[in-house]
């Protein structure tokens, strides 16, 4: 069977490869000519472990074709997956302009029945708009079914998550169309939930909001640990052993970022507001996350007695390790806040600056290597827990920094060792207790 995928970012490319692995013939459409050229040559426009070799395999087999010609993509299949971006607008609502553009393109190019499957994360009610956009662009009335099939992958483990999902969610107002999409996954063994479109979309938003809330919750408890000298890791593992709560997403730190949590939480709050529903818990999770940056920087400022003439070394710019994605990265917010309070910043990341030579961070000294960033610095500030930061020679760091201050935004460094070497070390909620080494 043939499948078309429109939009080749993280989700589109992974979806295309997942369908190839399941034995389908896929045409994937990308409008950005630079990205398209890379994909056609078997090169990924983003960093994602494991995907490169699969990309080359399916390009060679001919099971995957990338094109910039949307008409070719639409003609290829009766099933068209939409995987374009849905970024935030300033009021928190979702920018649906990419979805609208693709919908109109589908309508204009359509010459027979299509099942249009929205994999992008879109607000409830979007399906009706998509139906209208497609209908208005059609040259003559043609049948179309709308299905939603939200994506739950994490960057850094995109392929694994897509091939081994906890569940597949399919929403449609037409049971036959839902069944057609369900059958695409017949070889997968996970639960498949078939429901209406709004319910399917709300499963996606609720999952992301719940995970983000879990992190904000543990971060808030981390502040209580700091105040009373309790240990957050022990609190988290003690709580997480309750199977009703579970151990995941309880790692306290500088807060959540990335291309989806911030925008999906903002969109959910916006959907509530549009209907007079004040989503207090989700709003608080968002607020705690925003305040977390200030919580760390207040500590920094206090320890250094002000940031004027001080240099802060930022370790890790991507929003999490093993990705070059800097969308809504906490590091960028930390840099802006340090600079706003008068400090100077040096930054190191093992991947971001190599992958994005175009990235400009005004006033920031970009370090060539880890050592270069800490020399003469007043604070080693870890934001992203890249593996290589766990192998640092702290004896050397002690000799080369100006002030022996370490802030650990991910609670991953060996607190006891650093303190015994003479560093003033702060994570969150790590004052006392048995710190795991
Ligand atoms: N990035 C992630 O980890 C996850 C993202 N999602 C959702 O999936 C959607 C896509 O996310 P990403 O892949 O990160 O977005 P992205 O912005 O990285 O990629 C979208 C791609 O679509 C292309 N595009 C836009 N309009 C097009 C058109 N008319 N024709 C052809 N190509 C077009 C863009 O050039 C871009 O390459 C979003 O709604 C996001 O919320 C869901 C789960 C995980
Ligand atoms: O909708 C999406 O785009 C995706 O958003 C997240 O995936 P992702 O953004 O790739 O990254 P996560 O691993 O969830 O991490 C998000 C942020 O939370 C932070 N985090 C995560 C876990 C934790 O315990 N503590 C914590 O601070 C990470 O550092 C990161 O900044 C969800 O985990 C995916 O299921 C979802 O599909």
Give pLDDT tens digits for 325-364. 999 999 999 999 999 999 999 999 999 999 999 999 999 9
DSSP H helical ranges for 7-68: 10-21, 33-40, 51-61
For residue 50, what pLDDT is reported? Answer: 85
The DSSP element (H or E) to which 206 belongs, if any, is: helix 197-228
Which-ligand-closest: CA of 257?
A: 2
437 has a pLDDT exceeding 90? no
- Tell me the pTM: 0.96
Q: Is the CB of 297 under 6 A from ligand 2?
A: no
Q: Is the CB of 258 under 6 A from ligand 2?
A: yes
Active-site residue (options: 8, 197, 225, 260) = 260
Task: Tell me if ipTM is over 0.95.
Answer: yes
The count of other CB atoms within 10 Å of the CB of residue 434 is: 9
Share of the chain above pLDDT 90, in %: 95
Q: Which of 411, 34, 33, 36 is nearest to 16 (CA)?
A: 36
> Whose Cα sits closest to atom 37 in ligand 2?
152
Q: What is the dihedral of CA 242, 243, 248, 253, to 10 degrees?
A: -20
Q: How many helices (H) and strands (E) does the chain have?
A: 17, 14
Q: Which carries the bigger pLDDT value, residue 107 or residue 76? A: 107
Q: Is the CB of 251 under 6 A from ligand 2?
A: yes
For residue 376, report the distance from its CA to the centre of ligand 2, in Å. 33
Give per-residue burial for 281-319: e unless 16+ CB within 10 Å, then b: ebeebbebbebbbebbbebbbeebeebeebbbbbbbbbb
pLDDT class for 49, splitting at 50, 70, 90?
Answer: confident
> Whose Cα sits closest to atom 29 in ligand 2?
320
Q: Is the CB of 255 under 6 A from ligand 1?
A: no
Euclidean distance between CA atoms 315 and 292, whole angstroms: 17
Asked if 344 and 363 touch (Cβ cutoff 8 Å), the reply is yes
Share of the chain above pLDDT 70, in %: 99
432 has a pLDDT exceeding 90? no
For residue 154, report the distance from its CA to the centre of ligand 2, in Å. 6
Which-ligand-closest: CA of 74?
A: 1
Closest ligand 1 atom to residue 12 Cα is: 13
> What's the average model confidence in pLDDT over 176-204?
97
436 has a pLDDT exceeding 70? no
User: Quick check: is 260 catalytic?
Assistant: yes
Structural domains in the chain, CATH included, are 2-195 (3.40.50.720), 211-426 (3.40.50.720)
Closest ligand 2 atom to residue 10 Cα is: 3
For residue 140, report the distance from its CA to the centre of ligand 1, in Å. 29
């Amino acid at each position: 069977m043939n499948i078309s995928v429109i939009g080749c970012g993280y989700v589109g490319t992974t979806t295309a490869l997942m369908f190839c692995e399941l034995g389908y013939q896929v045409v994937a459409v990308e409008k950005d000519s630079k990205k398209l050229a890379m994909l056609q040559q078997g090169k990924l426009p983003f960093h994602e472990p494991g995907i490169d070799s699969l990309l080359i395999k399916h390009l060679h087999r001919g099971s995957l074709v990338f094109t910039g010609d949307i008409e070719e993509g639409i003609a290829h299949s009766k099933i068209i997956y939409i995987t374009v971006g849905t970024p935030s607008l300033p009021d928190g609502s979702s920018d649906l302009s990419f979805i609208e553009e693709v919908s109109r393109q589908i309508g204009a190019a359509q010459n027979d029945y299509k099942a249009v499957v929205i994999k992008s994360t879109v607000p409830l009610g979007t399906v009706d708009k998509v139906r209208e956009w497609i209908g208005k662009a059609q040259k003559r009335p043609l049948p179309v079914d709308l299905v939603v099939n939200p994506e739950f992958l994490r960057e850094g483990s995109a392929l694994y998550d897509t091939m081994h999902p906890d569940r597949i969610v399919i929403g449609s107002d037409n049971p036959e169309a839902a069944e057609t999409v369900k059958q695409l996954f017949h070889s997968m063994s996970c639960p498949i939930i078939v429901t209406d479109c709004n319910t399917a979309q709300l499963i996606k938003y609720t999952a992301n909001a719940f995970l983000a809330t879990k992190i904000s919750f543990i971060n808030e408890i981390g502040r209580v640990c700091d105040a009373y000298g309790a240990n957050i890791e022990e609190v988290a593992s003690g709580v997480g052993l309750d199977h009703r709560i579970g151990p995941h997403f309880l790692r306290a730190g500088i807060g959540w970022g990335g291309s989806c949590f911030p925008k999906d939480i903002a969109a959910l709050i916006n959907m509530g507001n549009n209907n007079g529903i004040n989503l207090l818990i989700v709003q608080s999770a968002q607020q705690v996350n925003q305040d977390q940056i200030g919580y760390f920087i207040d500590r920094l400022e206090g320890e250094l007695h002000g940031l004027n003439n001080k240099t802060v070394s930022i370790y890790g710019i991507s929003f999490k390790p093993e990705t070059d994605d800097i969308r809504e990265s906490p590091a960028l917010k930390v840099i802006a806040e340090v600079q706003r309070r008068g400090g100077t910043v040096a930054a190191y990341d093992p991947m971001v600056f190599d992958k994005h030579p175009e990235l400009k961070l005004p006033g920031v000294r970009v370090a060539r290597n880890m050592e270069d960033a800490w020399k003469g610095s007043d604070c080693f500030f870890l934001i992203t827990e890249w593996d290589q930061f766990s192998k640092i020679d702290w004896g050397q760091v002690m000799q080369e920094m100006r002030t022996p201050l370490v802030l650990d935004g991910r609670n991953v460094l060996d607190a006891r060792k650093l303190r015994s070497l003479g560093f003033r070390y702060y994570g969150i909620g790590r004052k006392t207790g048995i710190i795991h080494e």
